[in-house]
Amino acid sequence: MSESDRLDIEAIMRQLPHRYPFLLVDRVLECVAGQHCVALKNVTINEPFFQGHFTGRPVMPGVLIIEALAQAAGILAFKTAKVVPDINTLFYFVAIDNARFRKPVVPGDQLMLKVTLKRAFKGIWKFHCLGEVEGKEVASAEIMVAPETKPRSGAAG
C-alpha cells in the first residue's frame, strides 16, 4: 500500500472482517497510516434497516452511523498497525464518548466518514470521528478501540 490509499470494496473486505449486511464502508478515498482516513457510505433505500426504521420516514439508525465511523477507524487502525485482520486479530470497541447526532441520514445521502487518530497508548486507540452529508456535520463521536490478538493454533502459551 502507498502512503495515501484509496480502497475499493474488494480491498475494504480484505481490511475489515464485516460482511453484508453489516459492512458499512463502500469506499475509502484516503487513508494515511497514523493520521486519518476518509471513507464513504452510500445510503440507499435497499438497506435492510429501513424496513423498520421508520415506516414512512426512513432514517439511518444512529448506532449504525457510529458503526460506520468505527469501521473507518478500524481500517485506519489496521493500516497503522500494519496488520491484516483475521480470525485471530480484531479491534473491538472499548468506549464511545461524546456521540452527537445533528441531522438525520436518509436514503440517497452519501455519508462521508472522517476519522483522525488522536492517540494510541498501551493498546488503546482513540479516534475523533465525524460523519458528514454534503459537507454538513450529521454525527460525531470519540471512539476508542483495543486489539484482541488470539494465539495461533499450535502456538505455545
Compute the distance between CA of residue 96 and CA of residue 48 in angstroms, rounded to an integer.
24
- Note if 53 is an active site residue: yes
Candidate list 18, 36, 53, 128, residue with the active-site label: 53
Contact 67, 96 (CB under 8 A): no
Compute the distance between CA of residue 79 and CA of residue 85 in angstroms, rounded to an integer.
10
Compute the distance between CA of residue 23 and CA of residue 67 in angstroms, rounded to an integer.
9
- By three-state DSSP, how is residue 113 classified? strand
Active site positions, annotated: 53
